[in-house]
Structure 1
Amino acid sequence: MSRPAFPSTSRRRAFSSSYHYIRLSVSPPCADVLTLRKTMQDALLQTFGLLSANTYIDVLSLAEDGSEVVVRIAKNEAAKLLAAVAAFAGSPRLSVIKESPFLPSLLLSQPLA
């Protein structure tokens, strides 16, 4: 029995990333990156304690008017940040717009048909 010359191409490769990207709205708008990072660390501290407050959060983009921010976080820490932001009552108020392991998908306002 002979094997085909080329392997089957029916397998798909899954996209693998060690980071997770989160797009957040900021209310009231805040144009200071350090204030926003501190707000996220305070949310993690309040929800999960001191150890989680030291989670590294990379601010990738901030809207000119300060109304939205995009952050990058380690994949295994993303769920904690999402929960902490939802539970945090401080100011400025952060709300999740979209989250994904694939950064360009945060730009889509509607799902592809």
Structure 2
Amino acid sequence: MPRKLSSSYRYIRFAVSPPSTDALLLRKLIQDALGQSFGLTSSHTYLDILSLSEDGTTLVIRIGSNDAPKLLAAVTASTASPRLSFVKDSTFLPALLCAEPLS
């Protein structure tokens, strides 16, 4: 019987518009969105920026599975610029590579 791998993390891919190559600015934007939506304690949610594309259009974040819904809700409600748009999430990081259609 196949065994399902469990993970305590979610990997989330966002599109960034307008593009930004400043990882600290994007992290601050996420913290501000969490704080605005869920309060000061949530603004200190542990997360990692794993990847920011060279052109600044794509961002990949690792966050605890329990905190992922809060992050998605906060980013959706945020009106800050640059804007983060949800592309895909997974418990398996390489699965995010399949977010773009194959040519």
Identity %: 59
Whole-Å separation in 1 of the counterparts to 2:31 and 2:22: 15
Report what 1:88 is aligned to.
78
How much has 1:57 moved relative to structure 2? 1.4
1:110: how far off?
6.2
Distance 1:67 1:108 in 2: 16
Taking structure 1 as the reference length, what is the TM-score of the superposition?
0.85
Instruction: Tell me by how many angstroms 1:15 deviates.
Output: 1.6
Structure 1 distance, partners of 2:34, 2:90, is 19
Alpha-carbon distance in structure 2 between the residues aligned to 1:88 and 1:76: 20
- Which of residues 64, 68, 74 in structure 2 aligns to 1:74? 64
Unaligned runs of 5+ in 2: none
For 1:31, the equivalent position in structure 2 comes to 21
Scaled by the length of structure 2, the TM-score of the pair is: 0.93
Tell me what 1:104 maps to: 94
Count residues with an aligned counterpart: 101
Q: Deviations over 1:13-71 (max 9, x none)?
A: 11201111000011111101100000001110111111100001100000001011001
Q: After the TM superposition, which segments of 4 or more aligned residues of structure 1 sit over 3 Å from their partners?
A: none
Shift of 1:109: 3.0
**Rg (Cα) greater in structure:** 1
Residue number in structure 2 paired with 1:20: 10
| 3-state secondary structure, aligned to 1:44 | helix
Three-state SS of the structure 1 residue aligned to 2:67 is helix
Task: Give CA-to-partner distance per residue, 1:54-108, whole Å, 9 cap, x none.
Answer: 0011000000010110010011101100111111111110000001111011001
Instruction: State the secondary structure of the residue aligned to 2:66.
Output: helix
Partner Cα separation in structure 1 for residue 64 and residue 58 of structure 2: 20
Matched residues in 2 for 1:39 and 1:87: separation?
Answer: 12
Name the amino acid aligned to 1:47: S
